Amino acid sequence: MTAATEMTRHERESLAKLMRQRERVAKTAAAARSAHLIAEFEAQLDRKYAYDEDVVWTAATAAAKAVVAEAQIAIAHRCEQLGIPREFAPALEVYWHGRGRNALNSERTEMRRLARRRIEEIEARARAAIEASSLDAQENLMLGGLTTDAARRYVDGLPSVVALMPPVDIAEVQAGLAAPKRLAANAGHGMITSDAADDQGVF
């Protein structure tokens, strides 16, 4: 063996011990990463969009309000012709939904369940990759297939937990759900589901 490949028994054992320690740390980091991914998903789930935070939305809302206001005048005039008291007259209003499917409690519950299951699968794959990488390094170390420098590169080269565990996007989770439920049930009756009511903006 050349000087470049020589490694003492103590050095091999020390590096093997360090590899196992790094493996345990990486697994702990994977569990922490799962908690972080869950928190990120919850933030996506709770995100509400205001009509005035985007110039296009603001313009579209203003245009809709103008059209509805004009239509409401016609509706009110017709109600007078029909003798319908003002307090009993139908009305037309504009609603802004600050969220989509995630405005419904039932949908949020299901998306949360799917997201947690996906994150568990991601963590399991990450832990398996970490173990495989560590085992490969330890085998090569014990069999004498690594130089000191190569062994240290293995120690420092365990897969990144962040790379192994990418964020879970809410759109991907929604794709795994059944057909979307209506935010406004019974179209034509003007019914708004109770668990989505806090996401309505009446203009």
- The answer on 107 and 32 residing in a single domain is yes
143 burial via Cβ count (<10 Å: 0-12, 13-18, 19+)? exposed
Mean pLDDT along residues 20-25 = 90
- Stated as kind and residue range, the H or E segment containing 86 is none
Do 122 and 175 belong together in one domain? yes
- Is pLDDT at 121 greater than 70 in this prediction? yes
Q: Based on the fold, state whether residues 144 and 110 are members of the same structural domain.
A: yes
- At CA 62, angle to CA 56 and CA 68, rounded to 5? 135
* Position with higher pLDDT, 102 vs 137: 102
- With 60 as the cut, is the pLDDT of residue 196 above it? no
- On whether residue 2 sits in a domain, the answer given is no
Query: Average of pLDDT values for 186-194?
Result: 41
Residues 125 and 186 grouped into a single domain = yes
Q: What pLDDT does residue 191 have? A: 40
Residue 153 or residue 28, greater confidence: 28
Count of structural domains within the chain = 2
Q: Do 145 and 177 belong together in one domain?
A: yes
Helix then strand then coil, in percent of the chain rounded to 5, is 70, 5, 30
Which of the pair, 154 or 90, is modelled with greater confidence?
A: 90
Work out the pLDDT band at 180, boundaries 50, 70, 90: low
What are the Cα distances from residue 165, in Å, to 10, 28, 33, 133?
Answer: 35, 13, 7, 16
pLDDT at 160: 81
Q: Of 134, 121, 137, whose CA–CA distance to 173 is shortest?
A: 121
Q: Provide the pLDDT confidence category of residue 4 given band limits of 50, 70 and 90.
A: very low
Least confident span in 50-54, 94-98, 142-146: 142-146
Q: For position 199, what pLDDT does the model report?
A: 56
pLDDT at 188 > cutoff 50: no
Region 136-141: what's the mean pLDDT? Answer: 77
What is the mean predicted confidence (pLDDT) over 11-20?
81
Report the predicted TM-score, pTM, of the whole model to 2 decimal places: 0.68
Whether residue 68 is found in the same domain as residue 135: no
Do residues 106 and 195 touch, judged by C-beta distance below 8 A?
A: yes
Widest distance between CA atoms in the chain: 105
